[in-house]
Amino acid sequence: MSGRSHPAYWAFVVHRASGLALAAFVPLHLYVLSLALEQTATLDRFLAWSTAPWVKLAETVLVVALAAHLAGGLRLLAVEFLPWREGQTALIALAGAVAVAAGLFFLLNAL
């Protein structure tokens, strides 16, 4: 396997995309935290809105993105600092499984 069909390429794409998604989420998160300090009525309306099912689904996607970015980063650290092994595809699959499991645990807790 080589090029764009290699699992390492897709691990790179997922890691980069999840990082960009998390970077886009941070300003929104900080804004909502500022509401808690200054505008409690607006925060209460936002929290009521956030109980919608599609918001819970979006939160689950966010948790999966966070877990994918964390697992992908740990995989990259292993590639960088540990001896090269032929089982890199297994590490990629493990990173993906950890991300999906984190999302499922979050979703089960949110229901």
pLDDT in tens, 21-74: 999 999 988 988 888 888 888 888 888 988 888 988 888 889 999 998 988 888
pLDDT beyond 70 at 100: yes
pLDDT of residue 51: 87
Q: Rounded to an integer, what is the distance from CA 92 to the centroid of its chain?
A: 15
Distance CA 70, CA 94 (A): 12
Confidence of residue 81 (pLDDT cuts 50, 70, 90): confident
pLDDT beyond 90 at 82: no
- What the block records as the tokens of 22 is 């998390």
Structural domain boundaries, residue 34: 3-110
Distance CA 60, CA 32 (A): 18
CATH number at residue 30: 1.20.1300.10
Q: Rounded to an integer, what is the distance from CA 29 to the centroid of its chain?
A: 14
**Mean pLDDT (whole number) for 96-104:** 88
What is the count of structural domains for the chain? 1
25 contact partners, CB below 8 Å, separation of at least 6:
62
3-20 pLDDT, tens digit per residue, is 788 888 888 899 999 999
Q: What is the pTM for the complete model shown? A: 0.76
